[in-house]
Amino acid sequence: MTDERPSLLRAGVIGLLSVGVGLAAGGVVAALGDPATSPVLAVGSEVIDRTPTPVKDWAIEHFGTHDKLILLSSVTVAVLIVAIASGLLARSRLLVGVAVQVLMLLVAGYAVLARPFAALSDLLPTVCAGVVSLAALVGLFRVTARPAGSAGASRRTFVAATGGTAALATLGVVGGRAITSSRSAIDVKLPAADAPAPALPAGLDRTVPGVTPLRTPNSSFYRVDTELSVPNLSASDWELTIDGDVENPYTISYSELLRRPLTERNITITCVSNPVGGKYAGGATWRGVLLKDLLAEARVKEPNRPDLQVLSTSFNGFTISTPLGAMTDDRGAMLAIGMNGAPLPRAHGFPARLITPGLYGMLGCTKWVTKLTVTTYADRKAYWTKRGWTTEGEIKPTARIDVPAALASVKPGRVLIGGTAWAQRRGVVAVQVSIDGGPWTAASLGPDVNVDYWRQWYYAWETNKPGQHSVRARVIYGDNMIQTAARAGVFPSGSSGIEERVFLVG
């Protein structure tokens, strides 16, 4: 009696399960070390690096903070489709199916080694995934081969073998997540600030439903970065190196950093990818060490040179350019270790990140930072600079409408319109609204925290006119400057324009 080939369905299932259990095994190994070395995450990161800027902007605009989930899901689906194909090809010729999976592993290995600080040891999760997936592919085909005349026995064997493989894959996924979760706890006591920030006053969000809270909770603070997994860094292993065009390069550990004088400030930061009316802005109380003090200790050579930048490097080699002057002037740029009274959450840069008031995050808010290099723009180009973004990204003043929601239906009478406005380094002086294209009218302002913090506003509009209506809002800032109405996209230096919201009365 000779063995017969499995059906197309069975062959596809075998290919899918073999790659699935391999990826699960690789994920467990990655969770024990660096989660970013997982084959799927490594391929996803490579896709991010090779994606054109307009496509990235489109993804952020349409998917928001879910863009990473969409990307990972897309990569996973693509991998599983190829996995099914490997099973179908192996049905006719096992070596062809093996070759397809080997090619997948080579792609993943390339993605792992393409990371800036990659080492050969980072290939271990990919190698583990490859060994398990290939062993499963060959093993399942041999175990579930259907002897002629024994369809029932073959069916039981197939169900048992594939069911066991699926169970192992599920166990691997659950185990990998459990390992990552167990290693993510932050066991750090945040010292009190030597120069604490003034307590935030009561905000308008207590009286105007729907207006963004004056302080953004850590759990809902926006996150836009290139990391597909939250880095699991240890405070005990972290250190910051300051080098480059300085007379006294040095390295400081986390414990040494905690013994430095800590400053606390209320600061609103904004992402350059924030569209007009977007949600990628947040106000928080940050605690850390002033960067001008750290750089003064390093003694920058020729500090008045206009072409000097501080190239900050994240743990994985990601870089950001910040004008040296923005870190050494009186704005209070800091190496932050605390956020809203707690240690930095891992998703927002633990153990330490940069906070530079007045500059978009891509120019002054590096997360998971490990190095500050004083250099020139001509000598070194940062990640975003290479992709055509500006090197002088001052945040553009804007007023955002929070309520009513777009196309919301409100009752006639007193309609509350409200939102937030920001003009970092210059301060919000006033907010004006225009109803149905009418004259600009002053809105009521919430508390004034400082020039680098956003400000809530609201306008009570009395109407008994049912139907569709529109509202526009603009900010007056600094020396009575008016927010520009000129429309601009987020690339290359941030969006601009007046937000207009349409809603219904009746």
Q: Are residues 149 and 61 in the same domain?
A: yes
Each residue's pLDDT tens digit, 411-436: 999 999 999 999 999 999 999 999 99
Q: Which residues pair with 420 in a beta bridge?
A: 400, 456
Query: Is there a domain that residue 434 lies in?
Result: yes
Q: Are residues 344 and 415 in the same domain?
A: no
Q: Are residues 76 and 175 in the same domain?
A: yes
Q: Is omega for the bond preceding 404 within 30 degrees of 0, making it cis?
A: yes
Query: How would residue 107 be classed by pLDDT, with cut points 50, 70 and 90?
Result: very high
Return phi, psi of residue 79, to 5°: -65, -40
Instruction: Provide the token pair at 148.
Output: 């002629």
Nearest alpha carbon to residue 451 among 473, 432, 477: 477
Query: Is there a domain that residue 61 lies in?
Result: yes
Q: Are residues 158 and 9 in the same domain?
A: yes
Q: What is the CATH number of the domain that holds 437?
A: 2.60.40.650
Residue 65: per-residue pLDDT: 64
Residue 2: per-residue pLDDT: 47
Query: How would residue 153 be classed by pLDDT, with cut points 50, 70 and 90?
Result: very low
Nearest alpha carbon to residue 455 among 421, 499, 416, 419: 421
- Does residue 152 have a pLDDT over 80? no
What is the rounded average pLDDT of the residues 114-128?
A: 89
Query: Is there a domain that residue 199 lies in?
Result: no
Highest mean pLDDT among 156-165, 218-227, 234-243: 234-243
294 vs 263: CA distance, rounded Å: 13
- Structurally, the chain folds into a number of domains equal to 3
Q: Are residues 89 and 176 in the same domain?
A: yes
Residue at which a domain ends, from 386, 407, 431: 386
- Does residue 305 have a pLDDT over 60? yes
Q: Are residues 312 and 343 in the same domain?
A: yes
Residue at which a domain ends, from 386, 417, 449: 386
Residue 496 exposed, middle or buried by CB count within 10 Å (0-12, 13-18, 19+): middle
Q: Which helix (H) or strand (E) holds 343?
A: strand 342-343
Q: Which residue carries 């809002």 as its tokens?
A: 473
Query: Is there a domain that residue 187 lies in?
Result: no
Q: Are residues 152 and 99 in the same domain?
A: yes
For the chain, what is the mean pLDDT?
A: 92
Q: Note the maximum CA span of the chain.
A: 92
- Its pTM stands at 0.85
- DSSP percent split of the chain into helix, strand, coil, nearest 5: 40, 25, 35
- Do residues 229 and 179 make contact, with C-beta atoms less than 8 angstroms apart? no
Q: Are residues 88 and 11 in the same domain?
A: yes
Q: Are residues 90 and 45 in the same domain?
A: yes
Nearest alpha carbon to residue 468 among 441, 446, 501, 491: 501
Q: Are residues 334 and 479 in the same domain?
A: no
Crossing angle between the packed helical segments 124-143 and 39-50, to the nearest 10 degrees: 120
Query: Is there a domain that residue 189 lies in?
Result: no
DSSP state letter for 164: H
- Do residues 335 and 245 make contact, with C-beta atoms less than 8 angstroms apart? no
Three-state DSSP class for residue 248: coil
Q: Are residues 169 and 23 in the same domain?
A: yes
Residue 334: per-residue pLDDT: 98
Q: Which residues pair with 419 in a beta bridge?
A: 401, 457
Query: How would residue 62 be classed by pLDDT, with cut points 50, 70 and 90?
Result: low
What is the rounded average pLDDT of the residues 321-345?
A: 97
Q: Are residues 151 and 236 in the same domain?
A: no
The DSSP result for 275-313, as a single string, is PTT-S-EEEEEEEEEEHHHHHHHH-BSSTT-TTEEEEEE
What is the rounded average pLDDT of the residues 225-246?
A: 92
Amino acid 272 reads V
Enclosing domain of residue 309: 204-386
Q: Which helix (H) or strand (E) holds 32?
A: helix 8-32
Residue 1: per-residue pLDDT: 38
Residue 57: per-residue pLDDT: 67
What is the rounded average pLDDT of the residues 441-453?
A: 98
Q: Which helix (H) or strand (E) holds 21?
A: helix 8-32
Share of the chain above pLDDT 90, in %: 76
Q: Which residue carries 């907010």 as its tokens?
A: 431
Residue at which a domain ends, from 150, 182, 214: 182
Share of the chain above pLDDT 70, in %: 96
Residue 44: per-residue pLDDT: 83
97 vs 18: CA distance, rounded Å: 11
Query: Is there a domain that residue 375 lies in?
Result: yes
Residue 42: per-residue pLDDT: 86
Amino acid 137 reads L
What is the rounded average pLDDT of the residues 242-267?
A: 97
Query: Is there a domain that residue 53 lies in?
Result: yes
Residue 194: per-residue pLDDT: 97
Residue 114: per-residue pLDDT: 87
Instruction: Provide the token pair at 356.
Output: 């530079």
Query: Is there a domain that residue 198 lies in?
Result: no
104 vs 213: CA distance, rounded Å: 47
320 vs 387: CA distance, rounded Å: 12
63 vs 327: CA distance, rounded Å: 33
Q: Is omega for the bond preceding 351 within 30 degrees of 0, making it cis?
A: yes
Rg (C-alpha) for the chain, rounded Å, is 27
Residue 56: per-residue pLDDT: 66
